[in-house]
């Protein structure tokens, strides 16, 4: 038995490899440094799903098919009214559940396209604004930002979102990918696998961490106040969001990929100075307090800063994570469907036994 399934191997995969000691991420045979900031969402879809999903178009055709799929799901946000008080990620999950299930390339393309439409509409809904219809001819990243803010983004902004989506596309057997593989293994369909992924991603220990990173930066306010604030948070028994990882014992390579994207975007330098001061203080305090457990910066810390700079509100960060990670969920689901068996582990019963008859 392994608590939290730590170190348990549950799949053979050709998709990605996380080396937690060297701090390296390999996706389909290529290093993260060779991918982030160098390719668009559409190219990452081809890299991850090419050969796994028969009938999936590539290149300009894929961009056109994704654009058409964004347009095809847009009526869902117009027709399906939501109860008040749903968070953006709950809205994303609810609207996604209205897509008919299947295991074919068409269903996969719809699922790759839909989170952009649903995320932008959920953010605008929370702001009391009407949703903006997709413009099918734009790249996926550019249209996402246009649907969010109403205007076409700059090339630099679209490139920054592409860098983010590529960086988070896949990451071994993380909790949401495992959840998606479990559901795919029952042959329930790709929409069901996607819903399992979104649900697992939503938690603050997984994809829900970057929103609280912004809360932390806002509460600290000034670089000089970082240490005292962080010490007090740890004294209250809280975890510092954006630090620590189940697999990495060194700095998460995705943190640097996103910091580089933030610099290329030329984002607010005062915010970056504050973030760097908080990061350095947090790492020093965690080293003092947990000398036996290396706790380093993870992907979520610079995710928060990059998505904030692109105009996403903190409560929607998990939805944007889902936009990118959908590539990985679908690729893993396909791999599971193609070669895997039903995932059905055992548990050890430690409850009471029935009384023996005398
Ligand atoms: N702040 C303070 N202490 C921490 C933190 C943290 N961020 N992370 C781990 N610890 C401590 C923890 O309290 C425990 O100490 P002790 O042994 O004295 O009780 C020790 O480190 C080991 O923690 P664990 O819970 O056994 O480690 P885990 O592998 O189960 O947790 C984690 C991994 C990511 C859930 C955890 O590091 C965490 O809660 N981090 C903050 C949330 C966060 O940033 N999540 C995003 C993860 S990266 C995105 C993704 O890939 O999902």
CA atoms within 13 A on the CB side of 355: 2
Q: How far is the CA of 244 from the centre of ligand 1 (A)?
A: 5
Please choose from 174, 209, 210, 239 the residue to mutate so as to test ligand 1's pocket, defined by most ligand atoms within 8 A of CB: 239
Residue whose CA lies nearest to ligand 1 atom number 1: 239
| Residues forming the active site | 245, 300
| Contact residues of ligand 1, CB 6 A cut-off | 4, 171, 174, 205-207, 209, 239-246, 290, 293, 295, 298-300
**Protein residue whose Cα sits closest to atom 21 of ligand 1:** 293
Above 70 in pLDDT, residue 185? Answer: yes
For the segment 10-28, the average pLDDT, to the nearest whole number, is: 96
User: CA–CA distance from 351 to each of 112, 348, 354 (Å)?
Assistant: 43, 9, 10
Q: How far is the CA of 319 from the centre of ligand 1 (A)?
A: 22
The residue whose CA has the least distance to atom 30 of ligand 1 is: 246
pLDDT score at 268: 80
What is the position in ligand 1's atom list of the atom closest to the CA of 244? Answer: 37
Closest CA to 66 of 115, 125, 124, 120: 115
Query: In this model, does residue 293 exceed pLDDT 70?
Result: yes
Q: What single-letter DSSP state applies at residue 202?
A: T
Strand, coil or helix: 25: strand
Angle at 71 between CA 69 and CA 73, to 5 degrees: 70
Evaluate if residue 357 carries a pLDDT over 80. no
**Ligand 1 atom at minimal distance to the Cα of residue 4:** 30
CA of 141 to the centre of ligand 1 (A): 31
Q: Ligand 1 mean position to 220 CA, how many Å? A: 21
Cα–Cα distance for residue pair 117/214, rounded to 1 Å: 24
- 33 CA from centroid of ligand 1 (Å): 25
Q: Comparing C-alpha atoms, which of 257, 256, 261, 246 is closest to residue 279?
A: 256
CA 299 to chain centre: 10
User: How many whole angstroms separate alpha carbon 191 and alpha carbon 118?
Assistant: 14
Statement: residue 203 has pLDDT above 90: yes
Contacts of 229 (CB under 8 A, 6+ apart): 216, 219, 220
Asked if residue 22 has pLDDT above 80, the reply is yes
Q: In this predicted complex, what is the ipTM?
A: 0.97
- Does pTM top 0.90 for this prediction? yes
Q: How far, in Å, CA of 184 to CA of 341, rounded?
A: 10
> Which pLDDT tens digit goes with each residue over 207-247?
988 889 999 999 999 999 999 999 999 999 999 999 999 99
Mean pLDDT value across the chain: 95
Residue nearest to atom 52 of ligand 1 (CA): 206
**Atom 35 of ligand 1 has which residue's CA nearest to it?**
205
Percent of the chain at pLDDT > 70 equals 100
**Residues 252, 247: Cα–Cα separation, whole Å:** 9
Q: Percentage of the chain with pLDDT > 90?
A: 92
Q: Which of 4, 229, 240, 244 to mutate to test the pocket of ligand 1 (most atoms within 8 A of CB)?
A: 244
């Amino acid at each position: 038995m392994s608590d939290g399934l730590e170190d348990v191997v549950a799949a053979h995969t050709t998709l990605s490899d996380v080396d937690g000691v060297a701090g390296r991420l390999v996706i389909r045979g290529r290093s993260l440094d060779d991918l982030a900031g160098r390719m668009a969402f559409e190219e990452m879809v081809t890299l991850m799903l090419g050969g796994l999903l028969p009938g999936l178009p590539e290149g300009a055709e894929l961009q056109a098919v994704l654009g058409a799929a964004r347009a095809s799901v847009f009526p869902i946000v117009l027709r399906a009214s939501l109860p008040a008080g749903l968070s953006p990620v709950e809205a994303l999950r609810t609207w996604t559940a209205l897509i008919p299930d299947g295991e074919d390339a068409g269903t996969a393309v719809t699922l790759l396209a839909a989170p952009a439409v649903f995320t932008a509409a959920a953010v605008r809904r929370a702001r009391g604004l009407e949703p903006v219809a997709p413009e099918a001819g734009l790249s996926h990243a550019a249209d996402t930002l246009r649907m969010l803010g109403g205007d076409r983004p700059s090339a630099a902004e679209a490139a920054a979102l592409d860098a983010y989506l590529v960086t988070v596309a896949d990451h071994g057997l993380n909790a949401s990918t495992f959840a998606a593989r479990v559901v795919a293994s029952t042959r329930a369909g790709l929409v069901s696998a996607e819903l399992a992924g979104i649900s697992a991603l939503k938690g603050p220990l997984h994809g829900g961490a970057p929103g609280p990173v912004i809360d932390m930066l806002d509460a600290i306010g000034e670089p000089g106040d970082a240490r005292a604030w962080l010490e007090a948070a740890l004294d209250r028994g809280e975890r510092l969001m954006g630090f620590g990882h189940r697999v990495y014992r060194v700095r998460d390579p995705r943190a640097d990929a996103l910091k580089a994207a933030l610099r290329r975007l030329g984002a607010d330098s005062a915010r970056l100075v504050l973030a760097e001061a908080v990061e350095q203080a947090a790492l020093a305090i965690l080293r003092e307090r947990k000398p036996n457990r290396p706790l380093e910066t993870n992907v979520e810390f610079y995710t928060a800063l990059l998505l904030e700079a692109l105009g996403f509100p903190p409560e929607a960060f998990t939805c944007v994570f889902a936009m990118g990670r959908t590539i990985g969920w679908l690729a893993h689901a396909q791999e599971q469907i193609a070669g895997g068996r039903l995932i059905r582990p055992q548990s050890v019963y430690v409850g009471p036994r029935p009384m023996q008859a005398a």
